[in-house]
Amino acid sequence: MATWDLSTMKHHILLCNGSSCNKAGAEELTQAVRSEISKRNLDNVIHTTRTRCNGRCKDRCVLVVYPFGTWYKEMKAEDAPRLIDSLMMESTTKLNKISHQYNGESFERTVNTVEGVKKTVEKIEKVSKVIVSSENESFYKSN
Ligand code: FES
């Protein structure tokens, strides 16, 4: 366990380690990204977090970068150096694996990215588990 000082961080990389991404090499991607950050002495500039499913399994392996709100798809371990290059240049032009980019109002999908299923109450209930139900409120936990 750790409580890191985030005050020097410029980027936060969320590495999906959900089951679909894990089957597509998420562990290798996670290790490659972290290794690339360490190799360049960027541990005080780029923070990483493993996550569970981010809800975009067809894009596996999924990786999300903040503060720009950039979602990447089909990421592989060998993409790690170009990803870090892109972040340090504050440009996304070198790594052509963006699936969604925050445009100030919403996440805009790139060409050739699967649209996905619209969220409806029925769909949300189908893919979520109710973990707490009290009075009139229910809280869902994604699978
Ligand atoms: S497991 Fe990574 S998006 Fe679902």
Rounded Cα distance, 114 and 118, in Å: 12
pLDDT on residue 143: 46
Closest atom of ligand 1 to 26 CA is 2
Residue with the larger pLDDT of the pair 141 and 19? 19
Q: In this predicted model, what pLDDT tens digit does every residue of 12-54 receive, in sequence order?
A: 999 999 999 999 999 999 999 999 999 999 999 999 999 999 9
Whether residue 42 lies inside any domain: the answer is yes
Nearest CA to ligand 1 atom 1: 18
* pLDDT range class, residue 3, cuts 50, 70, 90: very high
Whether residue 75 lies inside any domain: the answer is yes
Query: Which residue among 62, 73, 142 has the greatest number of ligand 1 atoms within 8 angstroms of its CB, and so is best to mutate?
Result: 62
The answer to whether the predicted template modeling score (pTM) of the entire model surpasses 0.85 is: yes
CATH code for the domain of 36: 3.40.30.10
8 A C-beta contact, residue 62 and residue 113: no
Domain around 40: 11-117
8 A C-beta contact, residue 69 and residue 101: yes
